[in-house]
Amino acid sequence: MPEYKAPLREIKFVTDELLDMPAHYASLPQFADVATPDMVDAIITEGAKFCENVLAPLNKVGDEEGCTRHEDGSVTTPTGFKAAYEQFVEAGWPSMTHKEEVGGQGLPESLGIVMSEMVGTSNWSWGMYPGLSHGAMNTISRWGTPEQNESYMPKLVSGEWTGTMCLTEPHCGSDLGILKTKAEPNADGSYAISGTKIFISAGEHDMSGNIIHIVLARLPGAPEGTKGISLFIVPKFNLDANGEAGDKNAVQCGSIEHKMGIHGNSTCVMNFDGAKGFLIGPENKGLNAMFTFMNTARIGTALQGVAAAEGSFQGALAYAKDRLAMRALTGPAAPEKAADPIIVHPDVRKMLLTQKAFAEGGRALVYLTSQQNDIVHYGTSEEEKKAADDMLGFLTPIAKAFLTEVGFEAANHGVQVFGGHGFIAEWGMEQIVRDTRISMLYEGTTGIQALDLLGRKVLMTQGAALKQFTKLVHNFCKEEADNEELAPFVAQLTELNKEWGDLTMKIGMSAMKDRNEVGSASVDYLMYSGYVTLAYLWAKMAKASQVALANGTSEEDFYKAKLTTARFYFSRILPRTKAHAATMVAGSDTLMDLDEEHFAF
């Protein structure tokens, strides 16, 4: 298995030099006194130790053992998972980013994202257990009654209890408008929830004292489609008079899904047989409330793309430095050895640099979204909060879909660098591929995220969301127009920034005549947007590195590597935008003109 080492220097570069998180925290009264540089460094350092020493060694264990369902519907997690979770709770990690009034530590969510990255890269399956709880907590905090918050939040925040989101049903995946789960009113004001949910990550396990399910269901007489969906809190154990876990509720794991990857997480079929539930949020507005959970999960899923790229890069780099095969084309690089390390070969370097560019660029993008999230919740003015919310809404589908697509690509490069050994389980590289393949599916497929970006976030706002971001890019290019060292970056970025708007306008005009034009263009549009967004961040990282070198530094190699990677990204990866640009405006006729009966096999 690859030995995971938390990339602390890379993390610090993004937080301190690219995004200036110390100034960001100082500008928000909520965090000015608690998220000090010393405190942040101490938290990240301790988090790295836990991930490297506790979670990473369990990664292969979880993949090989999987979870075990027993006859009574209970589930046992892989060896060591429960003990690791107890250690996680005892150290206070679950409560880090929650408000002090519910038992949290009052630290920023952007700091929690750093911890989530390290947890996810070291052991994604394990990290899903506490990770899903954050969405449940955000949903209850935002939409729950004071009594619901008092009943559930403290133990969710402490980590004593965990949470899930229960959306998908056997007959419907992303189209929640056709879900069938029912909620019948009880005399005591609760509801009897009946139905079957599938693909429920962490739906049943032995790691916490209670599991709080957030469940979508229909009330009697509710309107058809998405306008008739309500949201409910359904605990695994009903609460007794003291607010503790009491008698077992009528909810049970029917089976564990047999999955391609993430074997260490119990992805369950959950059966609700008149289970006692409690309405959260307004009747028939459940999907609105659930989006609080889903948006949290989408940023978390974007992080899986970064984790896949980082983890596969670490494994591939170590192997490429050690594995001997053939000689360098320019002559022996290690004449004292039987052959040269494969890192001397251009194709291997291309794969490694691709992994590196996606890992480091993806980290910058996810941390940027988390910074905007801080402002949405704790900004000092409504104008500032709205601007951050708009930016977050625009970047979320890009981060979720683009980063998972390129993260999967990076994971496959990791296997390729290992050659035949990459196909063998003991090296751990094929596990990263299997574990991360789901990231392009759950929390909305790439196609759904692409429709959200192009259809809702861009075209439905008449391009306002896009213009907000392209203005940032424009201002950066304008500020660096006379910077000769950045000229190659600025020139390409300026051209693409303009083309982005032109392509959007062209698609919008075509869509006025045929709405299929949006669907046919959307995935290429999203990928194009992702490559340009990362180009902007890589240009900014190049600028930060240039400044550090100009000011004098003892880490010249680090900053020179940043500049080299930026040049690689602009010359070897960014040209992919040309193909996406051509394809997105090619029209929908080649997709839609073939009659269904003429699809043959």
The pairing of strands 75-76 and 245-248 is unpaired
Do residues 191 and 275 touch, judged by C-beta distance below 8 A? no
Alpha-carbon span 530 to 538, nearest angstrom: 12
Report the DSSP beta bridge partners of residue 169.
172
The pairing of strands 210-217 and 161-166 is parallel
**1 in helix, strand or coil?**
coil
The alpha carbon dihedral of 530, 536, 540, 543 has a sign of positive
The residue assigned the tokens 């590289």 is: 429
Do residues 518 and 587 touch, judged by C-beta distance below 8 A? no
Do residues 186 and 235 touch, judged by C-beta distance below 8 A? no
User: 169 catalytic, yes or no?
Assistant: no
What's the angle, vertex CA 345, arms to CA 342 and CA 11, rounded to 5? Answer: 75
The residue assigned the tokens 């994604």 is: 124
Which residue among the candidates 409, 443, 480, 517 is catalytic per the annotation? Answer: 443
- The packing angle between helices 429-437 and 124-143, to 10°, is 30
Residue 100 structure tokens? 């002090």
End-to-end CA separation in angstroms for the chain:
41
Report the DSSP beta bridge partners of residue 184.
192
| Residue 239, CB-side half-sphere exposure with 13 Å CA sphere | 19
Do residues 281 and 231 touch, judged by C-beta distance below 8 A? yes
DSSP 222: P
Q: How many CB atoms lie within 10 A of CB 516?
A: 15
| Residue 595, CB-side half-sphere exposure with 13 Å CA sphere | 2
The pairing of strands 191-201 and 210-217 is unpaired
- Those residues with Cβ within 8 angstroms of residue 176's Cβ, 6 or more apart along the chain or in another chain: 167, 216, 226, 229, 287
- The packing angle between helices 146-158 and 124-143, to 10°, is 160
At residue 68, what is the residue type?
T
Do residues 283 and 230 touch, judged by C-beta distance below 8 A? yes
Q: How many CB atoms lie within 10 A of CB 117?
A: 26
- Those residues with Cβ within 8 angstroms of residue 561's Cβ, 6 or more apart along the chain or in another chain: none
Burial code of 369-403, b = ≥16 C-beta within 10 A, e = fewer?
bbbbbbbbebbeeeeebebbbbbbbbbbbbbbbbb
| Residues identified as active-site | 443
